[in-house]
Amino acid sequence: MKSRMIFGLGIVMLAGVIWMLFLKEGGEPVLNAPPSKPGIVAFGDSLTRGVGAEDGRGYPEQLSEMLGREVVNLGLSGETTKGALARLSQVLDYDPGVVLITLGGNDLKNGVPKEEAFHNLRRIVTRFQESGAMVVVGAIEVPFYSKGYPKGYRTLAQETGAALVPNVYDGVLGTPSLMSDTIHPNAKGYAIMAQHFYGVLSPLLQP
């Protein structure tokens, strides 16, 4: 009897170790996944608005085509994390099941301390999660000018249970044929950005 208890305890401990390793390797459970409500809203700055592309060719619209579902674009050019906090009700009015967030780039450009930017982002993410929405955060990484922001996005996702697109600019930034200027993609660049979101979001929509 005693040996069985010891064996059982060992199995439990081993399962715990495996689970912790799983979490550390990026397998954190995503809060509110799969979403219980159908609506999808993209919330953010000019990268969400689609600045640099023709009307209707930003990443939310192209993601909508990939998913076969409407993605409401609530991007605002020049938006900061502080400004976004004042617009939360605009998003919540849609009662979304999924909120896609691209914020932080203007904070970085304006010299906002990382701690302040991610404090605001945490408030934004948790407010949407409290409403029942699953949140996907699109991280922004600018080579040689990131100031710790990439790590901030990873920590935010791990601690809140948000899903993470590690770098929305991956394969886009710095490629002239995919950019309309030094910051904003063109329609082809936004297509790649949409694919990044699709790769993270699509599996989470399934029960």
The ranges assigned to domains in the chain are 33-204
pLDDT tens sequence across 162-186: 999 999 999 999 999 999 999 999 9
| CA distance readout (Å), 7 to 10, 12, 14, 111, 190 | 5, 9, 10, 56, 54
Each residue's pLDDT, cut to its tens digit, for the chain (207 residues) gives 444 433 443 443 333 333 333 333 346 799 999 999 999 999 999 999 999 999 999 999 999 999 999 999 999 999 999 999 999 999 999 999 999 999 999 999 999 999 999 999 999 999 999 999 999 999 999 887 888 899 999 999 999 999 999 999 999 999 999 999 999 999 999 999 999 999 999 999 987
Whether 14 and 45 have beta carbons less than 8 Å apart is answered as: no
Residues 84 and 76: their CA atoms lie apart, in Å, by 9
> Can you read off the two tokens belonging to residue 43?
């919330």
Whether 185 and 179 have beta carbons less than 8 Å apart is answered as: yes
Residues 23 and 47: their CA atoms lie apart, in Å, by 30
pLDDT at 2: 41
Locus of tokens 């301390």: 113
Whether 54 and 187 have beta carbons less than 8 Å apart is answered as: yes
Upper half-sphere CA count for residue 14 (Cβ side, 13 Å) = 6
- One-letter amino acid identity for 93? D
| CA distance readout (Å), 43 to 9, 75, 87, 117 | 46, 5, 9, 16
Element (H, E) at 135: strand 134-138
Element (H, E) at 204: helix 187-204
Residues 180 and 191: their CA atoms lie apart, in Å, by 13
Whether 64 and 9 have beta carbons less than 8 Å apart is answered as: no
pLDDT tens sequence across 127-157: 999 999 999 999 999 887 888 899 999 999 9
Homologous superfamily (CATH) of 33-204 is: SGNH hydrolase (3.40.50.1110)
Q: State residue 59 phi and psi, 5-degree precision.
A: -65, -35
Residues 143 and 136: their CA atoms lie apart, in Å, by 22
pLDDT at 27: 60
* Buried-state track 99-133, b at ≥16 Cβ within 10 A, e below 16: bbbbbbbbbbeeebebeebbebbbebbbbbbebeb
